[in-house]
Amino acid sequence: MSTEKNVLVLGGTVFLSEAIAKHAVARGHRVTVASRGTTGEPPEGAGFVKLDRATGEGLDALRGEEFDAVFDVARVPGYIGPVLDALADHAGHWSLVSTISVYARNDVVSDELHEPTAPDSTDPGWEIYGASKVACEQLVRDRMGDKGFITRPGLIVGPRDRNDRLGYWPLRFAEGGEVLAPGTPERRVQWIDVEDYAAWLLDAADTGLTGTIDAIGEPLAFGAFLDGVADVLIERGVIAERPNLTWVPQEFLAEHGVNPWAGPDSLGMWVPSPEYDGMQGRPGGPAAAAGFRASPLDVTVNRWWDANAEAPQLKAGLTREKENAVLAAWHRDPDRVAHHEGERHFTVPEPGNLKYEG
């Protein structure tokens, strides 16, 4: 166990920031959670400061405090600057959770970034999500220098993901029957487990790791991903055999109103190719070299199932009625897609398609 530290988690009540706070408490740190307190309670064992970054309310309660490590998941640069002004000189290590949406291109792996918004921008719009995060990164680098650690996660999955992108698949498989699968089995998918991510961020604070790194595991073929999900459910006795998957071309899915990624009428974790090949193919080696350890897929799926099995309820995704209608249409005319190549009209949540609600 690491030496006890004074830790501040800005947020701390939702998904990733909550996981960071819980892990920090479990490691024996003195943890303060600072947030508006409107999205949940801080983890047991953590202190709480009411902080409204839009108005500055609560900053005085933190001003002058000494923190060994600060963790921030904010996406609005105008809300980061005042916190840095108040705390930067009293923080030993500052970890900003950014996003791979800072990259200007999704179709290829590229290091080109969006042009940043103004550093004092308070616009919370998701349409400028990536550009806002670029500005947030610059603020942290400018103020924290060699004490700043910036990570750019891809899709974060786990039991508290409000979009249920991972959860769609084990719940769907448990229902049985013919299952609609998107595109081709070779299509890549990539993620980072929220528990692994939180643990790594705390390890980085312990060791003083700095710099800017993508936070992502290695990509996996979608077919192998679905096989892995099924294997967990078979081992647990939830299903007897792997599901009957029907792989339907993405052009046909678009024509019939099936959406990628997350939200209504979507197939979780899938995004179209080639438009998002780069987003789902960033190298995981740099994170691994910096100490990140990705859990095997079965561990990630088991974590999700353990947290949801007692009251399984899909919060987002394709309904059974919609799925059955699309499958019926496909079986009636599987060649129809050949007449519609190049006419895809996907609705992909942009640019907040990777938002983690942390």
228 phi, psi to nearest 5 deg:
-65, -40
* Co-location of 132 and 182 in the same domain: no
**Of all residues in the chain, what percent carry a pLDDT higher than 70?**
92
Residue-number span of the structural domain to which 133 is assigned: 6-153
Q: Is residue 197 part of a domain?
A: no
The predicted pLDDT at position 336 comes to 65
Token pair recorded at residue 235: 């081992």
Looking at per-residue pLDDT, the higher value among 31 and 310 belongs to: 31
The predicted pLDDT at position 348 comes to 55
* Co-location of 129 and 258 in the same domain: no
Q: Is residue 185 part of a domain?
A: yes
Q: What are the pLDDT digits (tens) for 48-82?
A: 999 999 998 999 999 989 999 999 999 999 999 99
98 phi, psi to nearest 5 deg:
-100, -135
* 292 has pLDDT over 50: yes
* Co-location of 174 and 126 in the same domain: no
Q: Is residue 205 part of a domain?
A: no
Mean of pLDDT values over 291-302: 97
Measured from the Cβ of residue 36, the count of other Cβ atoms closer than 10 Å reads 15
The predicted pLDDT at position 353 comes to 43
Q: Is residue 159 part of a domain?
A: no
* Co-location of 331 and 232 in the same domain: yes
* Co-location of 16 and 108 in the same domain: yes
* Co-location of 110 and 257 in the same domain: no
Confidence of residue 344 (pLDDT cuts 50, 70, 90): low
In the beta sheet, which residues pair with residue 94? 70, 148
d(CA 280, CA 269) in angstroms, rounded, equals 10
Mean of pLDDT values over 246-264: 93
Placement of tokens 């229902």 in the chain: 175
d(CA 153, CA 20) in angstroms, rounded, equals 14
Q: Is residue 203 part of a domain?
A: no
Mean of pLDDT values over 281-308: 95
* Co-location of 78 and 184 in the same domain: no
* Co-location of 80 and 37 in the same domain: yes
Averaged pLDDT score across all residues of the chain: 91
Placement of tokens 């839009």 in the chain: 54
The predicted pLDDT at position 312 comes to 66
Q: Is residue 341 part of a domain?
A: yes
The predicted pLDDT at position 351 comes to 36
* Co-location of 118 and 181 in the same domain: no
Confidence of residue 2 (pLDDT cuts 50, 70, 90): low
The predicted pLDDT at position 262 comes to 86
Q: How many domains does the chain have?
A: 2
Q: Is residue 234 part of a domain?
A: yes
* 315 has pLDDT over 80: no
- CATH number of domain containing 80: 3.40.50.720
* 166 has pLDDT over 90: yes
Which distant-in-sequence residues (6+ apart) come within 8 Å of 78 by Cβ? 119, 120, 121, 122
Q: Is residue 112 part of a domain?
A: yes
Confidence of residue 358 (pLDDT cuts 50, 70, 90): very low
Token pair recorded at residue 49: 């400061």
In this structure, the strands spanning 220-221 and 188-189 are: antiparallel
Confidence of residue 149 (pLDDT cuts 50, 70, 90): very high
The predicted pLDDT at position 37 comes to 85
* Co-location of 312 and 182 in the same domain: yes
Q: What are the pLDDT digits (tens) for 196-244?
A: 999 999 999 999 999 999 999 999 999 999 999 999 999 999 999 999 9
* Co-location of 339 and 240 in the same domain: yes
* Co-location of 181 and 243 in the same domain: yes
Query: What is the identity of the amino acid at 106?
Result: N
